[in-house]
Amino acid sequence: MKSPRASKIQKINKQSREWEGMFMLLNENRVWYPPIELIETDTALILRAEIPGVKIRDLDVRTTKSLISITGKRHEQHFANEKELICSQLHYGQIECLIELPVPIQNHRVEAELVDGVLTVIMPKAQTWDTSKNQENIQEILALFPA
Protein backbone atom coordinates (compact mmCIF):
# COMPACT_ATOMS: atom_id res chain seq x y z
CA MET A 1 0.00 0.00 0.00
CA LYS A 2 1.30 3.45 -0.90
CA SER A 3 1.96 5.96 1.79
CA PRO A 4 -0.23 9.09 1.74
CA ARG A 5 2.86 11.16 0.99
CA ALA A 6 3.83 9.00 -2.04
CA SER A 7 0.27 9.23 -3.31
CA LYS A 8 0.34 13.05 -3.05
CA ILE A 9 3.69 13.22 -4.86
CA GLN A 10 2.35 11.04 -7.68
CA LYS A 11 -0.73 13.26 -7.94
CA ILE A 12 1.43 16.40 -8.13
CA ASN A 13 3.68 14.79 -10.75
CA LYS A 14 0.64 13.78 -12.81
CA GLN A 15 -0.80 17.31 -12.65
CA SER A 16 2.59 18.74 -13.62
CA ARG A 17 2.74 16.47 -16.69
CA GLU A 18 -0.80 17.51 -17.66
CA TRP A 19 0.18 21.18 -17.46
CA GLU A 20 3.32 20.56 -19.51
CA GLY A 21 1.19 18.78 -22.10
CA MET A 22 -1.18 21.75 -22.37
CA PHE A 23 1.72 24.16 -22.82
CA MET A 24 3.25 21.90 -25.45
CA LEU A 25 -0.01 21.99 -27.40
CA LEU A 26 0.02 25.78 -27.24
CA ASN A 27 3.62 25.85 -28.46
CA GLU A 28 3.08 23.28 -31.21
CA ASN A 29 2.86 25.83 -34.02
CA ARG A 30 5.27 28.38 -32.61
CA VAL A 31 8.44 29.48 -34.30
CA TRP A 32 11.74 28.81 -32.59
CA TYR A 33 14.95 30.69 -33.06
CA PRO A 34 18.14 28.65 -33.03
CA PRO A 35 21.11 29.90 -31.04
CA ILE A 36 23.60 31.50 -33.40
CA GLU A 37 26.95 33.19 -33.45
CA LEU A 38 28.23 35.58 -36.10
CA ILE A 39 31.98 35.91 -36.50
CA GLU A 40 33.86 38.44 -38.63
CA THR A 41 37.24 37.65 -40.16
CA ASP A 42 39.32 39.80 -42.50
CA THR A 43 37.66 38.25 -45.55
CA ALA A 44 34.30 36.82 -44.48
CA LEU A 45 31.41 36.65 -42.06
CA ILE A 46 30.81 33.21 -40.58
CA LEU A 47 27.46 32.30 -39.08
CA ARG A 48 26.98 29.18 -36.99
CA ALA A 49 23.55 28.02 -35.86
CA GLU A 50 22.74 25.08 -33.61
CA ILE A 51 19.91 23.13 -35.23
CA PRO A 52 20.21 19.52 -34.08
CA GLY A 53 17.72 17.10 -35.57
CA VAL A 54 17.10 19.24 -38.66
CA LYS A 55 17.80 17.69 -42.05
CA ILE A 56 19.47 19.74 -44.80
CA ARG A 57 16.42 19.17 -47.03
CA ASP A 58 14.27 20.93 -44.40
CA LEU A 59 16.41 24.09 -44.42
CA ASP A 60 16.34 27.18 -46.62
CA VAL A 61 19.25 29.63 -46.40
CA ARG A 62 18.94 32.87 -48.36
CA THR A 63 21.23 35.86 -48.48
CA THR A 64 21.27 39.33 -49.93
CA LYS A 65 24.18 41.75 -49.75
CA SER A 66 23.17 42.77 -46.23
CA LEU A 67 20.92 40.01 -44.83
CA ILE A 68 20.82 36.31 -44.11
CA SER A 69 17.59 34.39 -43.64
CA ILE A 70 17.40 30.84 -42.32
CA THR A 71 14.08 29.05 -42.31
CA GLY A 72 13.20 25.43 -41.91
CA LYS A 73 11.40 22.85 -39.89
CA ARG A 74 12.33 20.41 -37.16
CA HIS A 75 9.96 17.47 -37.22
CA GLU A 76 8.84 15.84 -34.01
CA GLN A 77 10.10 12.31 -33.53
CA HIS A 78 7.81 9.50 -32.44
CA PHE A 79 8.88 6.08 -31.30
CA ALA A 80 6.90 2.91 -32.02
CA ASN A 81 6.61 1.92 -28.37
CA GLU A 82 6.02 5.47 -27.09
CA LYS A 83 3.21 5.50 -24.57
CA GLU A 84 3.25 8.93 -23.02
CA LEU A 85 5.49 11.96 -23.22
CA ILE A 86 6.52 12.74 -19.67
CA CYS A 87 8.75 15.76 -20.22
CA SER A 88 10.16 17.62 -23.22
CA GLN A 89 12.37 20.67 -23.46
CA LEU A 90 13.05 20.22 -27.16
CA HIS A 91 11.80 22.66 -29.77
CA TYR A 92 9.91 21.39 -32.80
CA GLY A 93 8.26 23.14 -35.69
CA GLN A 94 9.15 26.16 -37.77
CA ILE A 95 12.64 27.67 -37.51
CA GLU A 96 13.26 31.30 -38.41
CA CYS A 97 16.31 33.49 -38.23
CA LEU A 98 16.79 36.84 -39.98
CA ILE A 99 19.97 38.78 -39.36
CA GLU A 100 21.12 42.10 -40.74
CA LEU A 101 24.79 41.76 -41.54
CA PRO A 102 27.27 44.37 -40.30
CA VAL A 103 29.07 44.53 -43.67
CA PRO A 104 27.95 43.68 -47.22
CA ILE A 105 28.71 40.24 -48.57
CA GLN A 106 29.14 38.65 -51.97
CA ASN A 107 25.90 36.68 -51.76
CA HIS A 108 26.65 34.73 -54.98
CA ARG A 109 29.69 33.16 -53.23
CA VAL A 110 28.04 32.02 -49.99
CA GLU A 111 28.76 28.46 -48.85
CA ALA A 112 26.87 26.47 -46.22
CA GLU A 113 27.24 23.07 -44.60
CA LEU A 114 25.39 21.16 -41.90
CA VAL A 115 27.59 18.93 -39.74
CA ASP A 116 26.61 17.33 -36.42
CA GLY A 117 23.61 19.62 -35.98
CA VAL A 118 25.55 22.83 -36.58
CA LEU A 119 24.85 24.91 -39.69
CA THR A 120 27.91 26.89 -40.79
CA VAL A 121 27.46 29.61 -43.41
CA ILE A 122 30.55 31.31 -44.84
CA MET A 123 29.81 34.66 -46.48
CA PRO A 124 32.74 36.37 -48.26
CA LYS A 125 32.80 40.11 -47.67
CA ALA A 126 32.11 42.54 -50.50
CA GLN A 127 34.78 45.07 -51.35
CA THR A 128 32.94 48.26 -50.28
CA TRP A 129 30.15 49.31 -47.96
CA ASP A 130 27.77 52.11 -48.92
CA THR A 131 25.82 53.37 -45.89
CA SER A 132 23.41 55.32 -48.09
CA LYS A 133 21.63 52.14 -49.19
CA ASN A 134 18.98 52.00 -46.45
CA GLN A 135 16.10 51.98 -48.95
CA GLU A 136 17.74 49.12 -50.83
CA ASN A 137 18.07 47.18 -47.55
CA ILE A 138 14.35 47.61 -46.86
CA GLN A 139 13.54 46.28 -50.34
CA GLU A 140 15.83 43.29 -49.74
CA ILE A 141 14.02 42.49 -46.50
CA LEU A 142 10.62 42.69 -48.21
CA ALA A 143 11.83 40.44 -51.04
CA LEU A 144 12.70 37.69 -48.53
CA PHE A 145 9.10 37.55 -47.33
CA PRO A 146 6.74 37.62 -50.31
CA ALA A 147 3.14 38.50 -49.47
**Is residue 36 included in any domain, yes or no?**
yes
**Is residue 99 included in any domain, yes or no?**
yes
* Residue 145, amino acid: F
CATH code, 48? 2.60.40.790
Between 7 and 87, where is the model more confident? 87
Which residue range(s) make up the domain with 17? 4-78+87-128
The pLDDT of residue 130: 55
pLDDT digits (tens, 9 = 90+) for 111-143: 999 999 999 999 999 986 555 555 566 666 667
**Is residue 70 included in any domain, yes or no?**
yes
pLDDT digits (tens, 9 = 90+) for 61-78: 999 999 999 999 888 777
**Is residue 134 included in any domain, yes or no?**
no
**Is residue 146 included in any domain, yes or no?**
no
Examine the pLDDT at 81 and tell me if it is beyond 70.
yes
- State the total domains in the chain: 1
**Is residue 39 included in any domain, yes or no?**
yes
**Is residue 139 included in any domain, yes or no?**
no
**Is residue 15 included in any domain, yes or no?**
yes
